Amino acid sequence: MKLELKTDNGSLNSFSRFFKAISILALIIIFCDVAIKLGIISRHYQILYNCRVLSVTKSKSNQKKLSKIINIKSKQRISEFCRVVVK
Protein backbone atom coordinates (compact mmCIF):
# COMPACT_ATOMS: atom_id res chain seq x y z
CA MET A 1 0.00 0.00 0.00
CA LYS A 2 1.42 3.35 -1.08
CA LEU A 3 0.67 6.57 0.67
CA GLU A 4 1.04 9.68 -1.44
CA LEU A 5 0.54 13.19 -0.22
CA LYS A 6 0.19 16.01 -2.66
CA THR A 7 1.32 19.31 -1.30
CA ASP A 8 0.91 22.64 -3.01
CA ASN A 9 4.31 24.34 -2.68
CA GLY A 10 3.78 26.61 -5.68
CA SER A 11 2.77 29.71 -3.75
CA LEU A 12 5.42 29.17 -1.09
CA ASN A 13 8.07 28.55 -3.71
CA SER A 14 7.22 31.72 -5.67
CA PHE A 15 7.19 33.78 -2.45
CA SER A 16 10.59 32.32 -1.53
CA ARG A 17 12.02 33.23 -4.94
CA PHE A 18 10.57 36.76 -4.73
CA PHE A 19 11.96 37.29 -1.22
CA LYS A 20 15.35 35.95 -2.26
CA ALA A 21 15.50 38.24 -5.30
CA ILE A 22 14.52 41.30 -3.25
CA SER A 23 17.05 40.51 -0.52
CA ILE A 24 19.86 40.00 -3.05
CA LEU A 25 18.97 43.29 -4.73
CA ALA A 26 18.96 45.06 -1.35
CA LEU A 27 22.37 43.60 -0.48
CA ILE A 28 23.81 44.73 -3.80
CA ILE A 29 22.51 48.26 -3.22
CA ILE A 30 23.93 48.32 0.32
CA PHE A 31 27.35 47.07 -0.81
CA CYS A 32 27.48 49.64 -3.64
CA ASP A 33 26.58 52.43 -1.23
CA VAL A 34 29.29 51.31 1.20
CA ALA A 35 31.86 51.12 -1.61
CA ILE A 36 31.01 54.65 -2.78
CA LYS A 37 31.24 56.04 0.75
CA LEU A 38 34.57 54.30 1.35
CA GLY A 39 35.87 55.84 -1.88
CA ILE A 40 34.82 59.30 -0.70
CA ILE A 41 36.49 58.77 2.69
CA SER A 42 39.64 57.46 1.02
CA ARG A 43 39.81 60.47 -1.31
CA HIS A 44 39.37 62.84 1.65
CA TYR A 45 42.25 61.24 3.56
CA GLN A 46 44.43 61.25 0.44
CA ILE A 47 43.85 64.98 0.06
CA LEU A 48 44.53 65.61 3.75
CA TYR A 49 47.71 63.51 3.72
CA ASN A 50 49.08 65.09 0.54
CA CYS A 51 48.33 68.60 1.83
CA ARG A 52 50.20 67.85 5.04
CA VAL A 53 53.15 66.45 3.11
CA LEU A 54 53.08 69.45 0.78
CA SER A 55 53.09 71.85 3.72
CA VAL A 56 56.28 70.22 5.02
CA THR A 57 58.11 69.61 1.75
CA LYS A 58 57.32 71.62 -1.37
CA SER A 59 58.16 68.91 -3.90
CA LYS A 60 56.88 68.90 -7.46
CA SER A 61 55.76 65.25 -7.31
CA ASN A 62 53.50 65.98 -4.33
CA GLN A 63 51.96 68.89 -6.18
CA LYS A 64 51.30 66.67 -9.21
CA LYS A 65 49.64 64.00 -7.07
CA LEU A 66 47.48 66.58 -5.36
CA SER A 67 46.56 68.32 -8.61
CA LYS A 68 45.35 64.99 -10.03
CA ILE A 69 43.16 64.35 -7.00
CA ILE A 70 41.57 67.79 -6.67
CA ASN A 71 41.74 68.90 -10.34
CA ILE A 72 43.48 72.20 -9.66
CA LYS A 73 46.43 73.02 -11.91
CA SER A 74 47.69 76.29 -10.42
CA LYS A 75 50.39 76.00 -7.75
CA GLN A 76 49.05 79.03 -5.95
CA ARG A 77 45.52 77.61 -5.79
CA ILE A 78 46.86 74.28 -4.57
CA SER A 79 48.75 75.98 -1.76
CA GLU A 80 45.68 78.06 -0.81
CA PHE A 81 43.53 74.94 -0.87
CA CYS A 82 46.00 73.10 1.38
CA ARG A 83 46.10 75.98 3.85
CA VAL A 84 42.34 75.75 4.22
CA VAL A 85 42.35 71.94 4.49
CA VAL A 86 45.19 71.65 7.01
CA LYS A 87 43.67 74.26 9.37
- Selection from 45, 37, 33 nearest residue 69 by Cα: 45
Residue 34, domain extent: 14-86
Residue 6's pLDDT is: 65
For residue 6, is it within any domain? no
For residue 55, is it within any domain? yes
Full pLDDT tens readout for the chain, 87 residues: 676 666 655 566 777 888 999 999 999 999 999 999 999 999 899 888 888 888 788 878 888 888 888 888 888 888 888 888 887
For residue 2, is it within any domain? no
Residue 36's pLDDT is: 96
For residue 9, is it within any domain? no
For residue 53, is it within any domain? yes
For residue 47, is it within any domain? yes
Q: Is the pTM of this model over 0.85?
A: no
Number of domains in the chain: 1
For residue 79, is it within any domain? yes
For residue 51, is it within any domain? yes
Report the alpha-carbon distance of residue 53 to residue 4 in Å, rounded.
77
